[in-house]
């Protein structure tokens, strides 16, 4: 079943420090870190980071999870109008957890939460057959409702 994160789930997850997701079959881990004295949200796919994914995005399907590197430039020194250019490479960090989750919802066909701040969330794939999807959603709401 193809499922995406709801707006309510994104609002609850955006204040967390680490979220592990299953995006189109890839295990994506987004966690808070400090890069150049700024708090950024860094991501790893299947617990690894391969830089070929960012510089050769057409050859690797994992690269769609990384956001595109877009720059703005003036046409001339006197011009006030900025033109948008896509450099063809990708960036590995996001400004906020919410930005990352919204981007995953946009580019991936299915997005499911695996764990929040290291606490596993029930999923129908790993749980016994007696556990229903509704029961799993209740467990997800309980984990998301916890304070940090």
* Contact present, 105 and 2 (Cβ < 8 Å): no
* Burial grade of 25 (CB within 10 A; 0-12, 13-18, 19 or more): exposed
Residue, of 101 and 132, whose pLDDT is higher: 101
Nearest to 97 by CA among 22, 9, 32, 145: 32
Q: pTM of the prediction?
A: 0.73
| Rg value, the chain, Cα | 18
Tokens of 27: 């295990």
Task: Say how far residue 85 (Cα) sits from the centre of its chain.
Answer: 23
Specify the long-range contacts of residues 50-57, CB closer than 8 Å, at least 24 apart: 53/90, 54/89, 54/90, 54/91, 54/92, 55/89, 55/90, 57/88, 57/89, 57/90
Check pLDDT > 70 for residue 144.
Answer: no
Encode pLDDT of 75-129 as tens digits. Answer: 888 888 888 888 888 888 899 999 999 999 999 999 999 889 888 886 545 444 4
Q: What CA–CA distance (Å, rounded) separates 125 from 147?
A: 26
Which pLDDT band holds residue 2 (cuts at 50, 70, 90)?
A: low
Q: What CA–CA distance (Å, rounded) separates 51 from 64?
A: 13
């Amino acid at each position: 079943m193809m499922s995406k994160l709801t707006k309510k789930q994104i609002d609850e997850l955006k204040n967390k420090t680490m979220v592990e997701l299953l995006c189109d079959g890839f295990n994506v881990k987004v966690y808070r870190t400090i890069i150049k004295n700024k708090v950024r949200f860094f991501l790893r796919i299947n617990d690894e980071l391969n830089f070929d994914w960012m510089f050769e995005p057409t050859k690797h399907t994992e690269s769609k999870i990384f956001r595109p590197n877009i720059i703005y430039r003036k046409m001339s020194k006197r011009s006030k109008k900025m033109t948008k250019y896509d450099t063809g490479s990708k960036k590995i960090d996001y400004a906020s957890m919410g930005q990352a989750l919204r981007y995953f919802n946009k580019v991936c066909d299915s997005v499911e939460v695996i764990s929040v701040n290291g606490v596993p969330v029930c999923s129908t794939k790993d749980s016994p057959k007696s556990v229903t999807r509704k029961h799993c959603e209740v467990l997800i709401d309980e984990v998301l409702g916890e304070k940090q």
